[in-house]
């Protein structure tokens, strides 16, 4: 982590944590508040999966996939939007997904569903926060 921080310089915050942990996300956003006092951009890029036919999966696995691929996006956006509004300059939220959000991918049913949900959430959120110049 120190090598990453050194390579990025003084204009970055490098913080180790699990994005699926709401407390870790809150600590990161608090660090942004302390450092810059506003938030202009959020990029949600975290994700992951495992291959398994849906009928062989269990609720614990579904929960893990939803937490890894959707829930953190909801939480990060819930922390970002108020900060972007308070900054008065609008902002940008970028949610990266995967081709599996658009096509059938046997063995990845829940992952695909979570990524498709991220895309629809992004569309709906964009309409909701457009009056605040958040895109």
**97 included as an active-site residue:** no
Q: Which residue has the tokens 């579904």?
A: 62
- Decide: 92 and 41 in contact? Cβ < 8 Å: yes
Give me the catalytic one of 68, 111, 115, 117.
Answer: 111
Which is it for the CA torsion 109, 110, 112, 117, positive or negative? positive
Other C-beta atoms lying within 10 Å of the C-beta of residue 69: 28
User: Of all helices (H) and strands (E), which one includes residue 60?
Assistant: helix 59-66
> Which residues are known catalytic residues?
111
């Amino acid at each position: 982590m120190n090598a990453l921080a050194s390579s990025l310089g003084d204009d970055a915050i490098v913080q180790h944590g699990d994005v699926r942990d709401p407390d870790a996300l809150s600590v990161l956003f608090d660090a942004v508040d302390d450092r810059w006092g506003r938030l202009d951009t959020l990029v949600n890029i975290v994700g992951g999966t495992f291959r398994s036919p849906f009928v062989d999966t269990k609720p614990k696995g579904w929960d893990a996939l939803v937490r890894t691929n959707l829930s953190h996006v909801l939480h990060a956006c819930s922390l970002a939007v108020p900060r972007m509004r308070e900054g008065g300059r609008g902002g940008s939220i970028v949610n990266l997904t995967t081709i599996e959000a658009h096509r059938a991918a046997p063995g990845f049913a829940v992952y695909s569903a979570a990524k498709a949900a991220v895309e629809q959430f992004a569309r709906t959120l964009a309409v909701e926060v457009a009056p605040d110049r958040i895109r």
